[in-house]
A = this chain, B = another copy of it.
């Protein structure tokens, strides 16, 4: 059997991380890389990520149509967008070339939540072309949704769900510092909120809808809030700096309501150097019901590595799946791939 062939579309931190990970795996090869960065176009992707391994040369292309027409691939890793609207036309292109697609777009983790019409279109297109589309990542995609769902599998009844991800932004670069308002004053924070220029975490609606659909619960309402995390001490990370009185980050909270009261509660404060004011980072899931379950992962699972790993590790599941738009609750559990990736492909199916 030939190696599994992968195209990476979007060669930022996520795309590069996936390339590095794929180069460590057996039975898989990268056949194309697409990015618009003028510093990358025409260069061998191996040189960009400084990997000296035995792998065919692949030059970064800026023209995706040319690339998709000329290149064989089983799956395209789409690492370009956060929202379904932005990813939609790209997914359409990929699917029309009869290639499976895994997207890092946060909204794609459960596109039915914010874009039900586009989600239906993606599903129809994927079925028409006989391929599978999946959105995944560490969160949404695992910590605050799939892992919650899996733990409820051991429960007779569920009364209340709390998912809390307390993480450090310190490892992240300038883009994230800007997106999360690290170092800005309270005034600037309020101005950017007014101008709709502070996204914070994208994914609560997706995670909450994924959980409620998985459990068969009808939500009457979804709401979310954003609050500044103002530091009392001077904090500094590699790319971020927040003086006392300015923002160390943002606390996002969200709720899914059933019969007027909160059934799903999400808490997700993100900041640089949380330990400086005694915040212990971690992923926490607290389920009330029969039985109660209290889970803690400390420290939190690294968001960057986790998203890279989830996308690569889901490749065989996506190739094996029936055609259509899938989400993490439709497919078998993700798993690390330590052997030959081809051994995980079901030969008789699809």
Task: Spell out A's residues near B (CB within 8 Å).
Answer: 21, 24, 138, 142, 146-147, 149-150, 152-158, 214-218, 289-291, 293-298, 301-302, 305-306, 308-310, 312-314, 322, 328-340, 343-344, 349
Contacts and interface: CB of A to CB of B under 8 A. Distances in A.
Contacts of A309: 153-156, 290
| Copies, count | 2
B294 A339 contact: no
Nearest to A290: B305
Given A157-B338, A216-B343, A294-B297, 20 more contacts: A146-B333, A147-B150, A150-B334, A152-B334, A153-B310, A153-B313, A153-B333, A153-B335, A154-B301, A154-B305, A156-B308, A158-B338, A215-B339, A289-B336, A291-B301, A295-B296, A295-B297, A296-B297, A331-B332, A333-B333
9 contacts: A150-B150, A153-B309, A158-B338, A214-B335, A216-B337, A216-B340, A216-B343, A328-B333, A329-B333
Nearest to A341: B216
A312 B152 CA distance: 12
A337 B223 CA distance: 24
B297 A293 contact: yes
10 nearest CB pairs, A to B: A216-B339, A153-B334, A152-B336, A150-B333, A154-B306, A291-B302, A214-B335, A215-B338, A158-B336, A295-B297
A290 B332 CA distance: 22
A215 B313 CA distance: 10
